[in-house]
């Protein structure tokens, strides 16, 4: 497979131990890391974004954990569902949290299209979010949820490379217009702002890509794309997120 297709699959797996012989159906990756020297238990749940962000988050703990579990399941967004596949993934996530009772839970996902729909008076998705977070709060001390993020084009890496070769003068057009990107995600942001919880907080990464009226999609100096072909962040994109992730992990370790 072309490396640009799934950059998130190639993340480092140092000290990884997949404990289950039969990982759940639709699993991109499922298991835990050993070798920690701390007392904090950590879990990440969601879809393929878990693998995309796993090492970027874990490295900032510097092995200060007793366990670090991850569950990357197709259709899983952690705290709501809108299809048979996503409901099965949600049920699996609930079972995992109840079973392992991590001190801190990270919900990291590329969110389903349904969450961009207009908010209803008695919004079913918001109801699910609140109900599932309340469920998780029975078993964990803190929950960190990835907030909304600009929507990139599928096969962006190919588009980026083709533009470099054939139309370099058009490269700037590949950045996202901030107003359009924010408008597309407005209902996601609003729903998340309406979530009620006592142990959760959202962390956002979109601002690290912001420059004036654009969300940047590549590094102009190094000519490195921030996005791969499957709408995941590349190592260059993750590097931009590092200060935020470092701050979040420090907050976790200082507060628990």
pTM listed for this prediction: 0.93
Q: Say how far apart CA 163 and CA 245 lie, in whole Å.
A: 31
Q: Say how far apart CA 174 and CA 216 lie, in whole Å.
A: 8
Picking from 227, 48, 236, 237, the residue whose alpha carbon sits closest to that of residue 152 is 227
Cβ atoms of 70 and 12 within 8 Å: the answer is no
Output the DSSP codes for 55-124. HHHHGGGTT--SEEEEEEETT--SS---SHHHHHHHHHHHHHHHHH--SEEEEE-PPPGGGGSPPPTT-H
**Residue 101: Cβ within 10 Å count:** 14
pLDDT of residue 15: 56
Helix (H, G, I), strand (E, B) or coil at 131: helix
Helix (H, G, I), strand (E, B) or coil at 179: helix
Query: Which CATH number describes the domain made up of 7-152+186-212+242-255?
Result: 3.40.50.2300
Q: Say how far apart CA 151 and CA 176 lie, in whole Å.
A: 9
Query: Each residue's pLDDT tens digit in the chain (256 positions)?
Result: 444 456 656 555 555 655 566 667 678 889 998 879 999 999 999 999 999 999 999 999 999 999 999 999 999 999 999 999 999 999 999 999 999 999 999 999 999 899 999 999 999 999 999 999 999 999 999 999 999 999 999 999 999 999 999 999 999 999 999 999 999 999 999 999 999 999 999 999 999 999 999 999 999 999 999 999 999 999 999 999 999 999 999 999 999 8
pLDDT of residue 3: 47
């Amino acid at each position: 497979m072309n490396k640009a297709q799934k950059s998130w699959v190639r993340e480092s797996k140092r000290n990884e131990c997949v404990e289950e012989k039969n990982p759940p159906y639709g699993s991109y990756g499922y298991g835990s890391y050993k070798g920690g020297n701390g007392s904090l238990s950590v879990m990440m749940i969601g879809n393929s974004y878990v693998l995309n962000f796993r090492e970027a988050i874990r490295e900032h703990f510097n092995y200060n954990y007793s366990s670090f579990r991850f569950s990357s399941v197709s259709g899983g967004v952690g705290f709501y569902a809108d299809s048979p596949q996503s409901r099965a993934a949600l049920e699996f996530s609930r079972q995992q949290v109840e079973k392992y009772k991590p001190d801190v839970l990270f919900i990291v996902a590329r969110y389903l299209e349904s969450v961009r729909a207009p908010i209803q008076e008695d919004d079913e998705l918001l109801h699910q979010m609140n109900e599932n977070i309340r469920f998780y709060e029975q078993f964990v001390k803190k929950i960190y949820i990835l907030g909304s993020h600009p929507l990139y084009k599928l096969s962006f890496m190919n588009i980026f490379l083709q533009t470099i070769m054939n139309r370099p003068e058009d490269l700037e057009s590949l950045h996202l217009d901030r107003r359009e990107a924010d408008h597309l995600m407005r209902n996601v942001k609003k729903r998340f702002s309406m979530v009620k919880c006592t142990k959760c907080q959202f962390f956002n990464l979109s601002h690290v890509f912001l420059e004036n009226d654009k969300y940047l999609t590549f590094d102009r100096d190094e000519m490195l794309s921030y996005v791969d072909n499957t709408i995941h962040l590349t190592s260059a994109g993750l590097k931009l997120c590092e200060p935020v992730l470092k701050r979040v992990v420090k907050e976790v370790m200082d507060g628990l």
